[in-house]
Structure 1
């Protein structure tokens, strides 16, 4: 195992723990990102652009609806479970029930309604899988409240995307023109993830009687973030759906292929955010701003170090890479790739500003920021996609990303004096040695 050489700086061991947890999450996220990327490559190469674009659009729509139905209850559970650590996690089973019951009931109702009211076979397949997808993510999120990344890394980071790659690959090779078969293969791995994560949580969750007010406390904290998560889900996926609606499935396929590298670059942020969030919650709830500053600045430095080379390389290689990887029909996505690379470099330079904001309990401010971002994105999409297709969608997404990152950055600086770079950025760069 690698360990950071001690320098005598206060709090270095906390940074070291965060880095180790972040790297563990990064390893799992790396496997997951590679698997997701290869899944897209298989579909684009084996299926036609019409089939690929339709598949990408319906799965994007499914992920968007699933994220809305989760209501960000997973992050709410992380918040309450992490805060209960000094008390032996007592009463945490009540919070899990308070989150899981309404989320499961709502997802079942929506899935049933879509199944009954649509004739599209692909949408019917995904509506049947919707409740399982929603609940599996919620249960996996709850495990992170205990300060461990292992279930997230193994189940969400490795097992699910690898299983999707294998199953979607088999479906695309046997019947590449069948969107319902591809959709079923993509959704199926959520079921074993739900079962395994539930077993892990059941074994470690101390049972306690359900206390009055538990649901009220959970949802009073979570409801602003629930709306924010719904808007975030729309922000992340709506562009693919709008491109398919306004410019057709072929443009949707080109846009999805060109922006698929976003997953590769975002995996570092996802891993570091999952590892850092419980520590930020504890630091900010205890009023320990120096510790919060250490965590924020070290994570921001690692984000830049890990992602900027990826984005610079993608910008340089995009003219060759898109055609070589996805096929000749996808080389027109080069302008999309350049917009994506520049925007992601700016976003990572802001650090995990929104994670800090929500860890401090400022979920209302996070919601307002996301409302502004989605408004900018939709306005630009509707204005630019009809004339510019995939490039118009990329420009709309970029405008929303700028708003999404700069507003929380300004907010946490104004409230807590936090900025993404400082003395703790240098501490994050101390040399590593083998232990």
Structure 2
């Protein structure tokens, strides 16, 4: 499989983003349905226990340690010696994931968690190890800028786990059986991915060398540390809530966080699709890295601003519609977390940009600073404010993190046209706020607010920045 020509970069990025976003979106929808049925059928306590188990098990994903980004970058750059990196990444992730799962389960067993939480954590952790393995062949496909197999594998994985989980809950089954369905979905996704890789001729002989393992680990060290701290940050709130409060507080925060998290696939799809292209850009390329950053940031804002306004303005009707009255009290928590859709999108994209340029030190520094901030804020706010305290802690964390990474990117990327980047999404968001105020933030006003955003955005972009859709053209750096 050959890497596509650079002249079609915009079309490739747009197509891959659409594929990734569609697959992630449908997968997230299935997961939201699963959590909604869980809240309605199993009750708040079981919902809280499953949320705690999911938060503990996802720490296994730390073992990815950024290694797959090295694989994607090497494939995108046409490196013929990518094989040892591929197999090195797989072996290191299997070893690391297994070790982390054993530690997490041991701590959970000794901590204030029930046997049900520990067992569910173990099964979900096995699913995470399978997902870790699947991510490496996905990284190869991304390097070739062919996301069709990745999208279909994700749909199979998420779809199967959702169908099996809902069936278990409707039949009166336990959350442990729901976790087993999750594991079966992960195994199906891995099997499909390996089949597609074989059919595409992506066969790399099993070669593992000490130098290859060292290169995979050290080249990804910055992003790996970022992954460790990032995973800890994203789940620390829930873990501390479970330790300092109770299952009800975890359920309130977890329900709101799950809705916010369900939107992350948009930024992820865009960043993953653009990553191979970004890895070939510099300050002096045409277009420059700064121009590419401006366009991708605008794309993030176009998708996250309306979601953020929607979560803030329509939090209560959205929560009740999805989870029922049991999580109505999570309204304030969702309103706080809703704004963070924007800051989370920004810091995620900036981390991808810095990684594409192998400038990972700013990521690590920012995450160390914000980890300390997050722990302190959680310990100060959770005892008195519960779920909303955890939300405010995450708000402070993501805002500082986004600001630090954005400054690092602006320093290294060259000129970034700020006004043309934020103008359309910002004015569209203000139009949504006006509609929400005028309609009293009732659920029936949601489509009107969305339409207002679209009309204002399209009007501003057509009149002020009509050429942005075609500005991203990849070429060799000047003088090459």
The alignment's TM-score, normalised by the length of structure 1, stands at 0.87
Partner of residue 236, structure 1: 234
Deviations along 1:52-73, one digit per CA (max 9) or x if unpaired, are 100011011101x222122222
Q: 1:289 Cα shift?
A: 6.7
Q: Cα 1:245–1:351, aligned 2, differ >3 Å: closer, same or farther?
A: closer
Taking the aligned partners of 1:72 and 1:398, their CA distance within structure 2 comes to 25
Q: Where do 1:228-307 residues align within 5 Å?
A: 228-284=226-282, 288=285, 290-307=287-304
Asked if structure 1 preserves the Cα contact closer than 8 Å seen for 2:281 and 2:289, the reply is: yes
- Relative distance call for 1:72 and 1:430 in structure 2 (3 A) is closer
Alpha-carbon distance in structure 1 between the residues aligned to 2:338 and 2:120: 32
Kept in 2, the 8 Å contact 1:92–1:205? The answer is: no
Name structure 2 gaps, 5 residues minimum. 1-5, 110-114, 423-464, 472-480
2: CA distance, partners of 1:116 / 1:260 = 26
**Alignment map for 1:344-363 (pairs within 5 Å):** 344-348=341-345, 352-363=349-360
Aligned 8 A contact 1:44 1:52 in 2:
yes
In structure 1, C-alpha distance between the alignment counterparts of 2:89 and 2:211, rounded to whole Å: 13
CA contact (8 A) 1:61 1:238 kept: no
Q: Size of the alignment, in residue pairs? A: 413
For each residue in 1:384-419, what CA deviation from the matched residue of structure 2 results, as whole angstroms up to 9, or x when unmatched?
111111101100111110112111110111223253
Give the conservation status (yes or no) of the 8 Å contact 2:346–2:402: no
Instruction: Spell out, residue by residue over 1:11-61, the C-alpha distance to the aligned partner (whole angstroms, 9 max, x if none).
Output: 995334322221222111211121121111111111111111000110111
Q: Tell me whether 1:182 sits opposite 2:222 in the alignment.
A: no
1:56 equivalent to 2:56? Answer no
**Alpha carbons of 1:22 and 1:291: their partners in 2 closer, same or farther (altered >3 Å)?**
farther
CA distance in 1, matches of 2:7, 2:421: 9
- Out of 189, 196, 218, the position equivalent to 1:200 is 196
Structure 1 unmatched ranges of 5 or more = 1-10
Q: Structure 1 residues 92, 69: CA separation in 2 closer, same or farther (over 3 Å shift)?
A: same
Match of 2:98 in 1: 108
2:168 equivalent among 167, 171, 175: 171
Q: Deviations over 1:344-402 (max 9, x none)?
A: 23444678222111111011221111112222122111111111111011001111101
Distance 1:181 1:295, change over 3 A: same
Please point out which of 55, 71, 80 is paired with 1:77.
Answer: 71
Alignment check: 8 A CA contact 2:275 2:356 kept: yes
Asked if the contact 1:350–1:409 (Cα under 8 Å) also holds between the matched residues in 2, the reply is yes
User: Residues 9-88 of structure 1 correspond to what in structure 2 (within 5 A)?
Assistant: 14-63=9-58, 65-83=59-77, 85=78
- 1:7 maps to none
**Partners of 1:41 and 1:22 in 2: how far apart?**
27
1:327 aligns with 2:324: yes
- Distance in 1 (CA, whole Å) between partners of 2:239 and 2:127 is 20
Check the 8 A contact 1:139/1:197 in 2, yes or no. Answer: yes
Please say which of residues 110-119 and 48-57 is displaced more in the overlay: 110-119
Higher mean C-alpha deviation, range 295-304 or range 123-132: 123-132
Could you say if the C-alpha distance between residues 104 and 414 of structure 1 is closer, same or farther in structure 2, counting changes exceeding 3 Å? same
RMSD of equivalent CA atoms: 2.7
Tell me which of the two structures has the higher relative contact order, counting C-alpha pairs closer than 8 angstroms and 6 or more residues apart: 1
Q: Distance in 2 between the 1:126 and 1:381 partners?
A: 26
Distance 1:230 1:192 in 2: 27
Instruction: Confirm whether residue 392 of structure 1 aligns to residue 405 of structure 2.
Output: no
C-alpha separation between the residues in 2 aligned to 1:208 and 1:106?
A: 19
Does the CA-based 8 Å contact 1:90-1:206 persist in structure 2?
no
Task: Kindly provide the CA deviation profile for residues 274-305 of structure 1, in whole angstroms up to 9, marking residues without a partner as x.
Answer: 10011111224x95273423322211112122
Deviations 1:77-108 (A, max 9, x none): 1122222x2xxx52221111121112212333
